[in-house]
Amino acid sequence: MMLQNADTDVRVEVAVDAPIEQAFATFVERCDDWWPRMYRLSEAERTDVRIEPEEGGRWYEVTADGGTCDWGHVRVWDPPRHLELSWQIDVAFAPEPDPAKASTVEVRFAPEGADRTRVTVIHRDLERHGEGWESMRASVADQGGWPGILDAYASLVAATP
C-alpha cells in the first residue's frame, strides 16, 4: 500500500491479485462487502452501498428502514479502467446536496500482468468542502480513511476465488 498526500489531495494505491475486470467489478458491485460497516450517513443501520453503473448514476447507501442516502454520483464510468465519483459528504460527514461543494474520488485500475491489478484512489478537490476541509483531508488520509478502506477491499479481492 502506498499513500501520498498533496496539499489538497490524498492518493492511495494498492495492488491486488486479480485480473483488471475482476478488480473493477469487486470495487463497484461488492462495495458494501468491503466498505466499513460502521461508515454510514444515515441514522438507520446501513444494509447496502451501491454504485449505479453509468455516468450520472448514484453512489448511495441503503438503510434497514428502506431509505437511501446519497454519497455522490458517478462522473466517469469507463470499465474496467476508470471510475470517478463525486464525494457529496461535508466536513462533518453528513450529506452535502450541493454538487459545487463536492470533492472527487478518482479510481484507476491498471493491469500489472494477467492476474494482478494496481488500484489507485485519488481523492482530490477537497478544498471545495469549504471551511474545515483540511480536517476532511486528514480523515480520508488516516488509516481509518482510504488506506484502511482499500486494505479491506484488497482483502476481499484476495478472498474471492
Q: What is the CATH classification number for the domain harbouring 43?
A: 3.30.530.20
pLDDT tens, residue by residue, 42-77: 999 999 999 999 999 999 999 999 999 999 999 999
Q: How confident is the model at residue 161 (pLDDT cuts 50, 70, 90)?
A: confident
Domains contained in the chain, number: 1
CA–CA distance, 16 with 158 (Å, rounded to integer)? 7
H-run or E-run covering 124: strand 117-124
Grid-cell match 470499465, residue found? 79
- For residues 105-113, give the mean pLDDT: 97
Count of other CB atoms within 10 angstroms of residue 159: 8
- For residues 67-90, give the mean pLDDT: 98
User: What do you get for the CA distance between the two ends of the chain, in Å?
Assistant: 22
Q: What is the pLDDT of residue 18?
A: 97
What letter would DSSP give residue 80?
T
- For residues 28-50, give the mean pLDDT: 96
- What pTM was estimated for this model as a whole? 0.94
> 71: which 3 cell numbers?
454519497
Check pLDDT > 60 for residue 79: yes
Q: What is the pLDDT of residue 4?
A: 57
pLDDT tens, residue by residue, 122-150: 999 999 999 999 999 999 999 999 999 99
Q: In terms of DSSP H, where are the helices of 12-160?
A: 20-29, 31-34, 133-141, 146-159
Q: What is the pLDDT of residue 2?
A: 56
Sign of the torsion formed by the C-alpha atoms of 134, 137, 139 and 142: negative
Grid-cell match 446536496, residue found? 97
Q: Could you list the residue range(s) of the whole structural domain that residue 125 is in? A: 2-159
- For residues 16-25, give the mean pLDDT: 97
> 108: which 3 cell numbers?
484507476
